[in-house]
Chain A
């Protein structure tokens, strides 16, 4: 079970409060977690990665275990602490403004 923390606007779209969880078969990666997330909450398709290109939206980042995973290969294995549910995968919206 992978824990995922979404930005507030995406929690509202998915009609959830707090963290969400997804099940991933095989190697857990950003790619497989996003696939599972969109399968469970299809209204999030296109909001984290572009509908057409499947590339991460430029103002969103992925963090886990205090590491920025945004520029890692999307199929790279996630840290063990995320895989075993001790730590969440964070989807973070860029902070802009004063």
Chain B
């Protein structure tokens, strides 16, 4: 029978939740890296036991962790190829080094971006928000960071290099931080078109590269954001999350600050599909593993009230690719619930029926083993959940 492994990042450590394919009983291990903020943990599609984690702290900066045994043991992969560890056997710290590339050969000058008060502010590295392993190579991983930029390792996390074409796109001075910081939070690797990838930045918008990250194009036509001076500007939109089904990579679904959107031409133009949602503010969006037109969101009341409407935690599902939404409530709290579901905190497994998972800022991780029809908490009292990823293992 298959195994399902959830990788949960929280404000105070990482947790690994494991179940068999029934998804009824779960083993919980953790906290790993206790006391640290774990923004994201994700496994390699090419090697399920290869995991990467972003461990971060306002005090001590950024640490990259790696596991080669599915999360049982972890290490910092920082000793560069060809170099040795210290005489005491200590790994080096290069895996934690995220330095913007300003070199004449491959880099771009370090410019400024717009600050909250409208002034320009220097670009400063703060943390890694999202780790996206390559679809085919366990040693290659992309990292989305704050202040927004894209990094890549090709040696299993030992060293990281910036793909500076994104930060140096030229629109950088118009980018600005969202409430959580100016973060690159979404990375989608196209499974069909070689070298194509999509990223999203809050608050700059969505971008696409067709040459493996060397050059980038803003893909925000059709987005309308009333809170910026030019509601239909090329950049400046607060995109919260983008999701894609691997069978139709040109179709993307977006949860924007306000509005749920879709594109069917790889981002060339977007249409709003909020339809009958009770509020179209939210953070997460995901796609059913086997039905590319079935999508999920968790509506949140507003940008000033980050919790569900009426204290009722409801997932909304559309089986029509948007516009027509049904509320899913069975097993979810329907009174006095005032948690949030953050942008990286929803994931789907690939079993049949498709499993849907999400974590809350209240520390609950909910699971549905029937594509959202019913829900049950796996755990109720973790630290605030920042991210949820799932691995479906044979």
Contact = CB atoms under 8 A, between A and B. Distances in A.
B90 A47 contact: no
13 contacts: A9-B60, A14-B90, A40-B88, A42-B92, A42-B93, A43-B96, A46-B97, A47-B93, A57-B60, A59-B58, A59-B59, A60-B59, A60-B60
B292 interface: no
Given A9-B35, A45-B93, A45-B97, A39 B61 contact: no
Given A43-B92, A51-B96, A93-B59, 15 more contacts: A7-B59, A7-B60, A9-B36, A13-B76, A39-B86, A40-B86, A42-B91, A43-B78, A44-B93, A46-B61, A46-B93, A46-B97, A47-B61, A52-B100, A59-B58
B59 A43 contact: no
A43 B100 CA distance: 20
Contacts, number: 72
Interface range for B: 20 to 34
Interface residues of A, number: 26
B63 interface: yes
Nearest to B97: A51
B90 A40 contact: yes
B70 to A, nearest CB: 22
B61 A57 contact: yes
A43 B62 contact: no
Interface in B36-81: 36, 57-63, 76, 78
Interface string A32-52: 000000111111111110111
B63 A13 contact: yes
Contacts of B26: none
A50 B86 CA distance: 21
A5 to B, nearest CB: 15
B98 A57 contact: no
Interface of B: 35-36, 57-63, 76, 78, 85-86, 88, 90-94, 96-100, 125
A10 interface: yes
A63 B62 CA distance: 24
Interface of A: 7-10, 13-15, 38-48, 50-52, 57, 59-60, 93-94
A90 to B, nearest CB: 15
B85 to A, nearest CB: 8
Q: Which 4 A-B pairs have the closest CB atoms?
A: A45-B93, A42-B92, A47-B60, A59-B59
A52 B58 CA distance: 16
A42 B90 contact: yes
B78 A42 contact: yes
Contacts of A41: 86, 90
B55 to A, nearest CB: 9
A18 B303 CA distance: 45
B61 A43 contact: no
Nearest to A93: B59
Contacts of B92: 42-43, 45
Contacts of A43: 63, 76, 78, 90-93, 96
Nearest to A14: B90
A13 B34 CA distance: 11
A27 B97 CA distance: 28
User: Max chain B CB contacts within 10 Å: which of A39, A43, A44?
Assistant: A43
A44 B58 CA distance: 15
A27 B138 CA distance: 46
B86 A94 contact: no
Contacts of B58: 59
